[in-house]
Structure 1
Amino acid sequence: MQAVIIAVGDELTDGATVDTNSGYLSARLVECGIATRRHVTVGDDAAAIAEAIGGAAGQARLVIVTGGLGPTADDLTRQGLAAAMGAALVEDPRQAERIAAFFAARGREMKPSNRAQALLPAGAQAIDNDCGTAPGIAARLGEAEVFVLPGPPQEMREMFETKVLPRLPAAGAIAKRIVHTFGVGESDVGEAIADLMGRGRNPTVGTTVSAGVISVRITAAGPTKQAAEAAADETAAEVRRRLGELVFAGDDQTMPQVVGEALQAAGETLAAAESCTGGMLGEMITEVPGASEYFLGGVVAYANQAKTELVGVPADLIAAHGAVSEPVAEALAEGARRRFGADWGLGVTGIAGPAGGSAEKPVGLVYIAVAGRGGAAVHRHVFPGDREVIRRRAALAALNHLRLALVAAGEPGAEG
């Protein structure tokens, strides 16, 4: 079974409010073995709502609409559904009584606009709202089951979980896996797994990108949960095999978690000296609970004087090569390791922009050094994006270079 989810409201189409309902519903439907074919957002216009519902009913067996059931003049989902069904709106006496009782219990007068919430398309059924006044609506349109739910997330979720979910047919099971990679572009990852991403395959495989992290998302369907999970695991293993050391984590794991676990498993420690990332590297590391077990500390050495006085980078080295250079990155990493007495040191220096770049040293140029007992290695990057993106990608790249150094050193847990 497939579903189409429609979110109604001018506040959504205008960008004033972010639609969280559709994502929630899709995630819950997947757990029931129901895939969402598409999300549709439509403004408060009865004709547009009718068109969206009618189109969705021709594409999927399940249509869920959220929003537009309130008491104001711009709440037009009831009218839109009625138009799509070719039905008149009629009052549901039981819902009218329930709404009146809701106001009476609070010592308030029910206005005519609130009574209008009891109107339903002829042939539809009301769904009780235990959290508010607007009832939901259940209807059939062609071969599709249509459910209309209130827009406020709390009301929508309660109604979906208690009133709609029990009505949905069993549709097998779905299992999801995510394989996270770092170090190459999305096209490189896509080429390596192109045959796994073909249309009509089960499991389905796709990619998403965030701050340089390419995530391979795998969704498998099966008659049972065990069968779906086995199919998802098999494909995830093949993705990992093809992408090798580019893979750093799976599912909900993050780069800082993986690096932290590897350091803990090895009984080793880390220190950092960062310039252009301005503390973002340290922030990422310390987002992981228990990071104090392996992260001894960091220095944000932004000015050249701080690099010299706090980390021990020689002033003549900066004068000769510039603050953004391979020798200075190495000196930052070695200085951090020495200052804190750590097994590993990270050094980051670069130009995050928007100003400060040149033809020789453009905005986005970052040098990252990893220092260990066996010496230091320096990596040069030119990251695209704005200041925030460059800083975030640099911090993640620093952790990834450390991860790869741990892999090379044979430390457990760093392979991802």
Structure 2
Amino acid sequence: MKLEMICTGEEVLSGQIVDTNAAWFANVMMEQGIEVQRRITVGDRLEDLIAVFQERSLHADVILVNGGLGPTSDDLSAEAMAKAKGEPLVENLVWRQRLEDWFTRNGREMPLSNLKQALLPESAVMVDNPVGTACGFRVKLNRAWLFFTPGVPFELKEMVKGQFIPFLQQEYGVGAKVAVKKLLTIGHGESALADKLETLELPEGVTLGYRSSMPHIEIKIFARGDKAIGLLPRVTNHVRQVLGTAVVAEDRQSLAEEIHGRLNQSGFSLALAESCTGGLIASDLVAFSGSSSYLHHGLVTYSNESKVKVLGVSPQTLDDHGAVSIATVEEMALGARRLLDSDFALATSGIAGPDGGSEEKPVGTVALALATRGGVYSQMIKLPRRSRDLVRSLSAAVALDMLRRELLGEAVIVDYGSIGRYSK
């Protein structure tokens, strides 16, 4: 089965917004064992839409069309599809009633422009949208089924999971015998990871995939068929052994999700004192519901004065060692933990750049500390030639991994390959 995607919208084509829908869709399809073979972005021009629908329908089996189903004049997907098939738009009475009921239920008067969302190509099969005012639809043109979804991300995701994937399974028998394991890594580039794994002899039906989402690289281990699925745990363990400390989580999107999973309702508590990461660690954790069960506080102590007055860092320590130092970051972690007697505290202090470095402490130098009830662990890492954002996100990831390792009873300070370390 050849699967393609057509994304519509001038704002996507011109780069005014980043097309996260396409990345999400390709990732979800890959987890079903289906590779998206082509993606095309088209602006809001009727002739261009008609042409691309007609041309790609000669080559693909299924095309997901995302966007252009709204009520405004530049939402042209339904009209373009009707013209591509040479048929009229017809009002779908079921969806018109759904629209009227939705507005009545919400105490609002329905604008006449919304009626446009009930107009579908004559041969279209309506596809339910349980979370929005634009229904989807599917149409057969030439060899392909074109499956239309709204551009609103949460509506797309709802319809892909609830409607599109079941359609593929029913029509093409795909996705029923596929399993995937995801290993999250830090500190190694995609090519370095591939070099380590390319010599592995994988069983038939098992393949590897890579996804870069810095500061992480995700390795996906796909198993297709009953026999391969049965071997998946063994292959996963082998990959873990080969990569060693690079692997920091399994079946998680981020280290923050991993830490949240381990701390939520655990009875443990955590405090944060962030300087160079500027609240990034706290933000990543509070993105998850239930983080209040363990996160005592997150303090952004950016200035030396705040480090002294809020965390109790000694002015002499700052004078003798500087803000970016083992001594300072250890006192920051201890001070943060002491405030509410937290079980753990993480602290960061570094030079994120692009300015501010020195010969002794160049840009990308970061001090990290983890304070526990039993003591303090600390390290200085080197992140040269990275962007400011990447220095901050990598620093946050290493700090969280220090905590993860402590929770697992493992060595807290380890080597990560491309992340350099200063010896104490």
Equivalent position SS for 2:124 = strand
Structure 2 residue 40 is the aligned partner of structure 1 residue 36: no
2:98 and 2:298 map into 1 onto residues whose CA distance is: 59
Question: Residues 214, 163 of structure 1: CA spacing in aligned structure 2 closer, same or farther, 3 A cutoff?
Answer: closer
The question of whether the paired residues in 1 share the 8 Å contact of 2:223 and 2:229 is answered with yes
| Cα distance, 1:201–1:385 mapped onto 2, change above 3 Å | farther
Q: CA deviation at 1:90?
A: 3.3
What does the per-residue CA deviation read over 1:5-33, in whole Å, with 9 as the maximum and x for residues that have no partner?
21233343123455566566556656765
User: Structure 1 residue 221 and structure 2 residue 235: aligned?
Assistant: no
- The equivalent of 1:90 in structure 2 is 87
The one-letter code sitting in structure 2 at the alignment partner of 1:126 is A
State how far apart, in whole Å, the 1-side matches of 2:296 and 2:161 are: 48
Whole-angstrom distance in 2 between the partners of 1:100 and 1:293: 43
* Partner Cα distance (1:394, 1:360) in 2: 19
- Give the aligned residue type for 2:381: R
Which residue number corresponds to residue 2 of structure 2?
A: 2
Instruction: Select the residue among 157, 173, 178 that pairs with 1:174.
Output: 178
Cα gap change, 1:52 to 1:197, in 2 (>3 Å): farther
1:146 has 2:150 as partner = no
CA-to-partner distance for each residue in 1:218-275, whole Å, 9 max, x for gaps?
33332xxx55643544433322121122212111364245446667899765544332
Report whether the alignment pairs 1:327 with 2:324: no
Match of 2:236 in 1: 236
What is the CA deviation profile of residues 349-368 of structure 1, one whole-angstrom value per residue up to 9, with x for unaligned ones?
Answer: 11233443334333332111
Instruction: Find 2:211's aligned residue among 208, 222, 225.
Output: 208
1:190 aligns with 2:189: no
Residue 52 of structure 1 corresponds to: 52
Residue 414 of structure 1 aligns with which residue? none
String of CA shifts for 1:150-191, please: whole Å, max 9, x gaps: 545559966995699446221243222211112333333222
Gapped regions of structure 1 (runs ≥ 5): 412-416
Could you tell me the TM-score, scaled by structure 1's length? 0.73
- In 2 relative to 1, CA 73–196 (structure 1 residues): closer, same or farther, beyond 3 Å? farther
The separation in 1 between residues aligned to 2:58 and 2:72, in whole angstroms, is 30
Indicate how the Cα distance of structure 1 residues 46 and 235 shifts in structure 2: closer, same or farther if over 3 A, else same: farther
How big is each residue's C-alpha offset from its partner over 1:354-399, in whole Å with a ceiling of 9 and x where there is no partner?
4433343333321112345355432323265444443332222112
Tell me how far apart the structure 2 counterparts of residues 118 and 128 of structure 1 sit (CA, whole Å): 8
In the TM superposition, residue 213 of structure 1 has moved relative to its aligned partner by: 1.6
Mark the CA change 1:205 to 1:47 in structure 2 (over 3 Å): closer, same or farther. farther
One-letter amino acid matched to 1:206: G
Q: Distance in 1 between matches of 2:376 and 2:100?
A: 75
C-alpha RMSD of the superposition: 4.7
Contact kept in structure 1, 2:350 and 2:365, CA below 8 Å = yes
Contact 2:367 2:378 in 1 (8 A): no
CA distance in 1, matches of 2:162, 2:330: 55
Structure 1 vs Structure 2: percent identity of aligned residues? 29
Matched AA of 1:214 = I
Alignment partner of 1:377: what SS? strand
Decide whether the 8 Å contact of 1:149 with 1:159 is kept in 2: no
CA distance change for structure 1 residues 203 and 57 in 2, over 3 Å: closer, same or farther?
A: farther
Q: How many residues align?
A: 395
SS for the counterpart of 2:4 is strand
Q: What is the match of residue 246 of structure 1?
A: 246
Q: SS of 2:36's equivalent?
A: strand
User: Relative to structure 1, is the Cα distance of residues 77 and 160 closer, same or farther in structure 2, using a 3 angstrom cutoff?
Assistant: farther
Structure possessing the higher radius of gyration over alpha carbons: 1
Contact 2:405 2:411 in 1 (8 A): no
Matching residue of 1:401: 402
State the distance in 2 between where 1:270 and 1:164 align: 40
CA 176–304 in structure 1, closer or farther in 2 if over 3 Å, else same: same
How far the C-alpha of 1:37 sits from its partner, in A, is: 1.9
Judge conservation of contact 1:99–1:114 (CA < 8 Å) in 2. Answer: no
Change (3 A) 1:135 1:183: closer
Taking a change above 3 Å as real, the CA distance of residues 383 and 259 of structure 1, as seen in their structure-2 partners, is farther
Structure 2 distance, partners of 1:340, 1:115, is: 55
Q: Read off the aligned partner of 1:364 and give its amino acid letter.
A: G
Aligned residue in 2 for 1:378: 379
Distance 1:136 1:47 in 2: 20
Q: For the Cα contact (< 8 Å) 1:218–1:236, is it kept in 2?
A: yes
Residues 24-50 of structure 1: CA deviation (Å, up to 9, x unaligned): 655665676544223221223455445
